[in-house]
Chains A and B, each alone.
Chain A
Amino acid sequence: MSTPTAPASMYRPDAGAGLWEHRGKVAAVGVGHSPTARRWDGRPETSVGAISLTALRRAIADAGVAPAEIDGLVLDATTTTGAYWPPGKPVPPEVLNAYNATDDPLDGVAKLSAEWILANMPELTNVKFTMYGPGCMSNAICVAAQAVGDGLANTCLVLKSWHNYEGRYYQGGANAGDALPGSAAIRALWGTPACFGTALQFAEYCRKYGKTHDMMAPFIENSRNNGLKFPEGYWAQHRPEQITAEDYKAARWIAKPANLFDNDLPIMVSAAYLYTTAERARDMDQKPVYILNHACSRGRPRSLTPTLDEVEEETARTARKIYEGAGITADDLSFENMYDGFAQFHQFHIEGLGYRGMKFGEALDFYQGDISISGPNPILPSGGNVGCGRSRFWMHTDCIQQLQQRAGARQVTGVKPEIAVSGGPMPLGGHFTVWSASPD
């Protein structure tokens, strides 16, 4: 079986497309997470392949289906957090020999193919559909939803995994060298870290609307507080440390005005969901969470980095697509779980959505009120990447678990969990899903 990358037709990038044709007919049921780790310790059983198998098997068990019923698998083959396997370094034989390998010795160690998964999950005897949804879980679940809706698969696993190795984030490879290729040099010669573009937009936002970096502190506190209630998350598992407003304001700068806590922590982790038809979902062990729509942004900046105007135009455009395809308005949202890794663009997403009637420039004022899971205006109840580590999927897991009423200590109590939206990562280029406790 050769696994293709999802064609452009699997996504919904256009405004004016009307209701999603499969609205309410596809459901997420099972959730499975691997344990988290800061970095790979080199053991076979903690490799990115191994943790992927754990997540997949947990999702299957959570849904209560027989593995032989699974007929589809969607995943992202890229697993790096920014850490790359050193060129020429052999994969240790004890790692290679622990699993059924493919032709690529880095498969299951520094990348992940559908073929590697199937070779190591012999219980999946009936998978006939495999596809890559590259980017992150936000992309892959759009592909899985469309695939189930289109009838390409009936009971489909969707997987996203991340590996992380020793060494500092993005400091190897070309960044450690003496010269760059001309095309890369046009952006990279100035030494900007990953958060720099978002920091620029945030700086412009503060100037335009008269806001300050300190006004982000309640958002950061809330995110970590929620994240510490997420037992699958890195901070809850390894470092149950709250961030206070004082911690946030005193943190070192990475690219001012973005500091350490405006950035997320790269980790190793894997998550899998089980998607199926609304009809099939009724008989599974967990309450179905129905997909009302998926939509994506194909916005691109005119030049090196998006301006605030470009960001605001695109988030507003994306919101129109999200709502139109789902047949809802902002007033229907019980809560939001938009992406936050970097913390400083979460407000762009929710202002674009018009969450709780918010307009551009108002989110940081909104953060000064009650944004907790027990209030009427929950912000990012998952805790996101700030609260749980860098995976880009906590917000999806949280939407599913909240609408299934099994988010535990994280369960929203100030609103009835009926409809939610999640997605990301970037305001220009994200993928988004609308979730509902009801198919209607």
Chain B
Amino acid sequence: MAKQGVVPDDLTRPFWEAANQDRLVIQCCTACNRLQHPPAAHCHGCGSDEVEWKEMSGRGTIYNYGVVHDCPIRLLQDDQPFNVAVIMLDEDPGIQMYSHLPGTPVDEVPVHAAVEVVFEETANGQKVPEWRVVAGDR
């Protein structure tokens, strides 16, 4: 699926630069050791502005999903309907990421299945984390 391109901004640049290196990083508060995503200028847990980027294993679980039939984004409309799953990271199930689940048929999403991160290029070449269902036990 041809996702829109991404123009990294100051807040999210480390996330996108890591994606271009096939690495998944998530913000972590150095004061309370709490992960948070989406990124923010300060920790939503303790309020500290001492946040750093921490590399994740790239493993997670499908928490939930829906099937998009009426997408507001022009570039994705030719691909309707498509899955959008919510992934929970193994490091912290409270951290969610969206995924189109490449390789998984529409509306046949195995909720609670294990997934692994992959990196896809968007329209302007910027890579973005995506997720694939892991076949069998990992």
Contacts and interface: CB of A to CB of B under 8 A. Distances in A.
Interface residues of A, number: 42
Contact of A178 (B4, B13, B100): B4
B5 A179 contact: yes
Interface of B: 3-9, 11-13, 15-16, 36-39, 44, 63-76, 81-82, 84, 86, 94-100, 107, 111, 122-124, 128
Interface stretch (A197-205, A326-334, A376-384): A197-205
15 contacts: A179-B4, A181-B6, A186-B38, A188-B73, A189-B6, A190-B68, A190-B99, A192-B84, A193-B72, A254-B69, A255-B68, A255-B70, A255-B84, A303-B38, A307-B63
A169 B106 CA distance: 24
Contact of A204 (B4, B6, B37, B64): B64
B57 to A, nearest CB: 17
Interface string A183-218: 101111111111010011001100100000000000
A175 interface: yes
A304 B97 contact: yes
Contact of B98 (A170, A178, A187): A187
Given A193-B70, A304-B96, A305-B96, A179 B38 contact: no
7 tightest A-B CB contacts, nearest first: A179-B5, A182-B12, A303-B96, A191-B76, A256-B67, A191-B71, A182-B8
A302 B67 CA distance: 23
Given A181-B7, A182-B11, A191-B68, A253 B38 contact: no
A64 to B, nearest CB: 45
Given A171-B72, A191-B84, A182 B15 contact: yes
Which of B38, B82, B86, B107 counts the most chain A CB atoms within 10 A? B86
A181 B75 contact: no
A407 to B, nearest CB: 34
A304 B37 CA distance: 7
Contacts of A199: 66
A193 B38 contact: no
Given A196-B84, A204-B64, A190 B100 contact: yes
Given A191-B71, A302-B44, A303-B96, 10 more contacts: A175-B74, A179-B123, A180-B4, A183-B9, A187-B98, A188-B4, A190-B84, A200-B86, A207-B111, A255-B70
Given A253-B81, A304-B97, A182 B69 contact: no
Nearest to A302: B94
Contact of A257 (B39, B66, B100): B66
A191 B69 CA distance: 10
A253 B84 contact: no
A99 to B, nearest CB: 33
Contact of A256 (B9, B69, B71): B69
A228 interface: no
A171 B84 CA distance: 19
Given A196-B84, A256-B67, A304-B98, A186 B73 contact: no
A258 B84 CA distance: 13
B97 A256 contact: no
Given A255-B70, A302-B94, A178 B37 contact: no
A255 B67 contact: yes
Contacts of B94: 302-303
A170 B44 contact: no
A176 B71 CA distance: 11
Nearest to A179: B5
Which of A193, A252, A302 counts the most chain B CB atoms within 10 A? A302
A101 B35 CA distance: 49
A253 B5 contact: no
